[in-house]
């Protein structure tokens, strides 16, 4: 037998064989092959015929244990020809014997024969026991044991079929060049409750602007997913080119990383229906309904998954929604990682992302998937069920359920059919019910608090089935966890020039002529705006600052809050060297934000945020919209906003939610022919990290 015959087998095959032989399964592929060859005492280069010692051992074992091998007369395996059938071995069986009979074939390996290349040799070992108390039972057991052994000796085809039906394997990493076409069937989204509908409506542009209260979506169509095999020329550092297939991308700080590029696309038909607004648009009607069928929905998502941490550091998504009447809405989104708030980041994909085939390696890692195994993966409980043979393929069913949702909100279940060697499921069925009204007493206070923070009121039901149509395997495995040479170091590229607030986020900008410091000075010298002056003089602060420029005058809309949680707003305008307090007002207590001076973090200045936002090398997609000829367009508005929480113990239980968060946003709206466009960008003002941007177009 040539070593090459074993090298053609996958690592999973070799591990199954080693398990059957009672040998350790750890080590590299070459070590597994050495262990098999050493165990069978085969020559590493070539075995020219059946090993006499092995056959002798089989005969002795059969004589000891009472195996009866059925003679094969000119029989051929359906897969492998048998030209030289093995001799019949007929050990004696004692009827009165009460010894234990072992009838399971545990070891088999395909070997070469001079006339018939693919053959199998086997040795039997004690494993499963059968009582010989009744003469008919041992005969049946002897027959089964002999049949399995003859199948192994006859060429291996039947043995492998039987063995694969019991198969266990670890999920292999995806490969550059892997691609799968799949269908989505039975897609259904049922949404009840104003807050829950608003979550979907606000994240789909104008496509769902008619929806309120209740919404039903059914969808079916074609989809695809793939990892691009990028040329090595896309890797700038020559020392990193052993990661062939990877490409470079920038994170939210503008730093360059090596990543695997994954594309995902959907071509769907969707029917929409539900409740809508009253005729004057003032409220959601309890009786008026709407429906819009046969809508075309095209979705494409490209994401870059960093090699070392296996996390998505950048993604670009496009949603194109066209009604039967030809009305069109488009969304283009670029995101860098998540929001930075764990509780939100874990919940949002459940509601906002399209149905994505599960990345098996990311979910299960190197866990051996075998019948009966259970565990937890990525926060989901899973159970591996008995294998199924579907259209000649051996598939492993896996049932998954999210325990926190099951305890607190309803259920989230995923049923998978998995094939060895495929990075995504052959079939994925999803059944999700989210309903905050179903919260039970078994839900812990910690879980309840986190979900209250992240999940809106209402009910959401999602069901769909993804099923593979075609699969093409790539060649080079993606090496997740690789610490490549050019990877940015900890803290590299992250600014450390944060400063403490003095009543507001510092400005110091040269991009606009009228700074917030000048606006505050104008307020202090004015007889108007008593509320904001009082707040700033008594430990209050500006929690929101919005700057607008109409090309002639610049305006600041400043929102304030004081230690008594009284809040209001003031509009200050500059024209030349003069400034004017245009208007001001107070907010109702129900609309006022929380006051928590201790939660106000140090931040970068507005000037620094603008500088980072306008870096064309880092964020070209944004600067093409916001800038013209290297300068910021005059119709761009920017806003800083502080969100704080009450001084409670809640934050001790919810990880990664800081007491105070400050965001910096830039927005622009414009018309182009018959199209209306809007653009929104958001950054983390504490660290200067770009979170992402969203562009919406309506025709």
Q: Return the SS3 of 446.
A: helix
- pLDDT above 50 (res 133): no
- CA-to-CA distance for 462 and 460, rounded, in angstroms? 7
Name the band, by pLDDT with cuts 50, 70 and 90, for residue 197: confident
- CA-to-CA distance for 8 and 98, rounded, in angstroms? 44
User: Lowest mean pLDDT: which of 61-75, 328-342, 346-360, 383-397?
Assistant: 61-75
**Counting every residue, how long is the chain?**
699
Close Cβ partners of 26 (under 8 Å, ≥ 6 residues apart):
none
User: Lowest mean pLDDT: which of 131-140, 228-237, 282-291, 641-650?
Assistant: 131-140
Q: From residue 627, how far is each of 305, 330, 387, 670, 672 by CA, in Å?
A: 29, 22, 58, 13, 16
> Strand 179-192 and strand 459-472: pairing?
antiparallel
> Strand 101-102 and strand 427-435: pairing?
unpaired
Name the band, by pLDDT with cuts 50, 70 and 90, for residue 155: very low
- Read off the DSSP letter of residue 487: P
Mean pLDDT of the chain: 77
pLDDT per residue over 310-362, tens digit each?
889 999 988 898 989 888 888 888 989 854 434 334 444 444 455 789 999 88
Helix orientation angle between 516-524 and 530-537, rounded to the nearest 10 degrees: 110
Beta pairing partners, 212: 214
What's the predicted TM-score (pTM) here?
0.70
- pLDDT above 70 (res 126): no
Tell me, what's the pLDDT at 438?
Answer: 73
Supply 188's token pair: 């259904």
Q: From residue 160, how far is each of 78, 105, 292 by CA, in Å?
A: 12, 12, 53
Tell me, what's the pLDDT at 490?
Answer: 86
Q: Quick one: 496 exposed, middle or buried, by C-beta within 10 A (0-12, 13-18, 19+)?
A: exposed
For every residue of 241-303, DSSP letters joined together read: TTSBBBEEEE-TTS-EEEEEEEEEEEEEEEEEEEEEE-TTSSSEEEEEEEEEEEEEEEEEEEE
Give the start-end residues of each E strand in 44-135.
101-102, 107-111, 119-123, 129-130
Name the band, by pLDDT with cuts 50, 70 and 90, for residue 431: very high
Average pLDDT over residues 676-686: 93
Rounded to a whole number, what is the distance in angstroms from the first to the last CA of the chain? 68
- pLDDT above 80 (res 158): no
Q: From residue 516, how far is each of 360, 495, 519, 583, 600 by CA, in Å?
A: 51, 22, 5, 16, 18
- CA-to-CA distance for 42 and 24, rounded, in angstroms? 18
Q: Are 575 and 519 in contact (CB under 8 A)?
A: no
Give the start-end residues of each E strand in 307-343.
312-322, 328-335
Of the CA atoms within 13 Å of residue 688, those in its CB half-sphere come to 25
- pLDDT above 70 (res 391): yes
Helix (H) / strand (E) containing 63: helix 52-65
What percent of the chain has a predicted confidence (pLDDT) above 90? 44
Which residue has 């013209």 as its token pair? 628
């Amino acid at each position: 037998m040539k070593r090459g015959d074993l090298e053609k087998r996958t690592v999973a095959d070799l591990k199954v064989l080693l398990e059957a032989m009672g040998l350790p399964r750890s080590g590299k592929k070459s070590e597994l092959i050495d262990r098999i060859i050493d165990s069978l005492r085969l020559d590493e280069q070539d075995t020219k015929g059946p090993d006499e010692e092995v056959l002798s051992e089989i005969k002795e074992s059969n004589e000891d244990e009472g195996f009866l091998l059925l003679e094969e007369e000119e029989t051929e395996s359906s897969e492998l020809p048998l030209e030289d059938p093995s001799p019949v071995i007929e050990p004696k069986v004692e009827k009165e014997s009460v010894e234990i009979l072992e009838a399971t074939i545990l070891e088999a390996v395909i070997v070469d024969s001079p006339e018939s290349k693919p053959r199998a040799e086997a040795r039997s070992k004690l494993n499963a026991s059968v009582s010989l108390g009744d003469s008919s039972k041992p005969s049946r057991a002897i027959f089964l044991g002999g049949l399995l052994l003859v199948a192994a000796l006859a060429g291996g085809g039947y043995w492998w079929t039987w063995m694969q039906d019991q198969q266990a394997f670890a999920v292999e990493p995806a490969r550059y060049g892997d691609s799968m076409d799949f269908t989505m069937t039975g897609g259904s989204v049922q949404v009840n409750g104003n807050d829950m509908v608003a979550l979907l409506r606000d994240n789909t542009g104008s496509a769902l602007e008619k929806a309120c209260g209740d919404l039903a979506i059914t969808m079916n169509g074609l989809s695809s997913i793939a990892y691009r095999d990028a040329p090595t020329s896309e890797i700038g550092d020559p020392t990193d080119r052993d990661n062939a297939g990877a490409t470079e991308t920038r994170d939210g700080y503008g730093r360059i990383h090596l990543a695997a590029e994954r594309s995902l696309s959907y071509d769907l038909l969707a029917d929409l229906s539900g409740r809508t607004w009253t005729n004057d648009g003032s409220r959601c009607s309890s009786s008026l309904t709407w429906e819009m069928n046969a809508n075309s929905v095209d979705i494409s998502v490209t994401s870059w998954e960093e090699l070392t941490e296996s996390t998505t550091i950048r993604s670009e998504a496009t949603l194109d929604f066209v009604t039967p009447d030809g009305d069109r809405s488009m969304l283009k989104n670029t995101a860098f990682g998540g929001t930075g708030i764990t509780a939100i980041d874990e919940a949002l994909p459940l509601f906002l992302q399209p149905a994505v085939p599960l990345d098996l390696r990311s979910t299960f890692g190197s866990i051996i998937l075998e019948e009966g195994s259970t565990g937890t993966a990525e926060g989901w409980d899973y159970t591996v069920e008995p294998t199924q043979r579907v259209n000649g393929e051996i598939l492993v069913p896996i049932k998954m359920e999210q325990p926190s949702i099951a305890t607190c909100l309803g259920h989230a279940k995923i049923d998978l059919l998995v094939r060895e060697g495929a990075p995504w499921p052959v079939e994925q069925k999803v059944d999700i019910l989210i309903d905050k009204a179903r919260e039970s007493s078994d839900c812990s206070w910690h879980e309840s608090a986190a979900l209250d923070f992240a999940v809106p009121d209402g009910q959401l039901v999602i069901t769909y089935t993804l099923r593979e149509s075609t699969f093409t395997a790539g060649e080079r495995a993606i090496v997740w966890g690789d610490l490549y040479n050019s990877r940015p170091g900890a803290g590299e590229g992250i600014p450390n020039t944060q400063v403490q607030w003095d009543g507001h986020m510092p400005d110091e900008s040269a991009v606009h002529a009228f700074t917030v410091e000048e606006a505050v000075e104008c307020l202090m010298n004015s007889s108007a705006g008593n509320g904001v002056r009082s707040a700033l003089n008594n430990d209050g602060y500006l929690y929101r600052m919005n700057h607008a420029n109409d090309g002639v005058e610049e305006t600041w809309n400043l929102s304030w809050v004081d230690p008594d949680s009284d809040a209001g707003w003031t509009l200050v305008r500059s024209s030349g060297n003069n400034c004017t307090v245009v208007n001001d007002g107070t907010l109702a207590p129900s609309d006022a934000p929380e006051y928590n001076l201790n939660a106000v973090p140090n931040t970068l200045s507005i000037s620094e945020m603008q500088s980072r936002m306008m870096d064309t090398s880092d964020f070209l997609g944004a600067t093409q919209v916001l800038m013209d000829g290297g300068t910021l367009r005059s119709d761009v508005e920017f806003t800083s906003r502080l969100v704080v929480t009450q001084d409670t113990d809640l934050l001790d239980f919810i990880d990664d939610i800081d007491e105070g968060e400050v965001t910096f946003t830039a927005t622009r709206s414009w018309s182009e022919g018959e199209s209306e466009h809007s653009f929104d960008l958001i950054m983390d003002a504490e660290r200067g990290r770009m979170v992402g941007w969203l562009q919406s177009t309506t025709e």
